[in-house]
Amino acid sequence: MARPGSRAPSALEPLPTGEDKTQRVRSMFDAIAPRYDLINRLMTFGLDQAWRRATVDALALPHGARVLDLACGTGDLSRLARRQGYQVVGADLSAGMLAANTTGTPLLEADSGCLPFPEGAFDGVVCGYALRNFTDLALALGETARVLRPGGRLAVLEVDAPASRTLRAGYDVWFHKVVPALGAALSDRDAYTYLPRSVAYLPAAPVLRRMLSQAGYSTVGIRPLAGGLSQLLMATRTGMT
Ligand SMILES: C[S@@+](CC[C@H](N)C(=O)[O-])C[C@H]1O[C@@H](n2cnc3c(N)ncnc32)[C@H](O)[C@@H]1O
């Protein structure tokens, strides 16, 4: 069932940049929001929940810590962070994704490039599967550093590519063939064709490390999850704790 209104680029169009990317990403997530969670679970065989738990655990903050779920979407990370005893606020570009968010967390419609929070407002920031959707990644990472207190923790979950050739072959078929078919059947073909293509926006690990350092983070770590099906980026905001 194709949902009208998604403006994800078709497989034949080049990947968008600048304001065009922001608008298209917003419309695409507005359109796929109602079935986003269902397709996520099918697409990852439910493994995404374990990876999300690892992401929240990586914050390692005390009970009651203030945590921003950046690009929170329907709120899977927020839900787990709240269970950990954190005070969570969610922010996302897409009003449709926020409307489908039933976590009960305070929510704000906001762009990662211009977060509506003062400096040092949070002890932790989590962000799931969104880096490659940001129009200006350096700006977004700078904003996460700005809203974190010195010593605050960042934990980011993203897609990756497995190093093992066997796993990589299966991953390529799944991500590039099965996922778009699943999207076409249950939601929006263009959006779920864009998803694997959008990995091209994601810088390689050494570049991501450098960008995090330049944004104001120290002790940056990147850990593959499930043999590289996903990756977890962890960093600490530079400065005194
Ligand atoms: C793949 S979804 C991930 C949602 C959620 N974090 C999760 O783990 O399921 C990507 C999310 O990033 C949001 N997003 C994309 N660009 C954004 C931006 N520039 N600022 C804030 N949110 C953005 C989208 O609206 C969408 O909800």
Distance 71 CA to ligand 1 centre (A): 4
Nearest atom (ligand 1) to Cα of 127: 6
Give which of 109, 103, 73 is closest to 88, Cα–Cα. 103
Distance 62 CA to ligand 1 centre (A): 26
Per-residue confidence in pLDDT tens, the chain, 241 aa: 334 456 778 777 889 999 999 999 999 999 999 999 999 989 888 889 999 999 999 999 999 999 999 999 999 999 999 999 999 999 999 999 999 999 999 999 999 999 999 999 999 999 999 999 999 999 999 999 999 999 999 999 999 988 888 888 988 898 889 999 999 999 998 999 998 899 999 999 999 999 999 999 998 999 999 999 999 999 999 986 5
Nearest atom (ligand 1) to Cα of 112: 20
Measure CA 136 to chain center.
14
Vertex 199, ends 195 and 205: CA angle to 5°? 150
pLDDT of residue 219: 85
Nearest atom (ligand 1) to Cα of 73: 27
pLDDT of residue 140: 98
Question: Ligand 1 pocket by C-beta < 6 Å: which residues?
Answer: 25, 29, 71-73, 76-77, 92-94, 97, 111-112, 128-130, 133-135
Alpha-carbon gap, residue 54 to 44, rounded angstroms: 15
Distance 98 CA to ligand 1 centre (A): 10
Element (H, E) at 67: strand 66-70
Reduced to 3 states (helix: H, G, I; strand: E, B; else coil), residue 152 is: strand
Nearest atom (ligand 1) to Cα of 75: 5
Q: Which of 72, 107, 127, 139 to mutate to test the pocket of ligand 1 (most atoms within 8 A of CB)?
A: 72
Distance 110 CA to ligand 1 centre (A): 10
pTM: 0.95
pLDDT of residue 240: 63
Reduced to 3 states (helix: H, G, I; strand: E, B; else coil), residue 129 is: coil
- The stretches of 84-217 forming alpha helices (DSSP H) are 95-99, 137-147, 165-173, 179-186, 189-197, 205-215
Distance 112 CA to ligand 1 centre (A): 9
Rounded CA Rg of the chain: 17
Residue nearest to atom 13 of ligand 1 (CA): 71
Alpha-carbon gap, residue 179 to 161, rounded angstroms: 15
Distance 65 CA to ligand 1 centre (A): 22
Q: Which of 21, 55, 92 to mutate to test the pocket of ligand 1 (most atoms within 8 A of CB)?
A: 92
Residue nearest to atom 25 of ligand 1 (CA): 94
pLDDT of residue 3: 43
Distance 240 CA to ligand 1 centre (A): 30
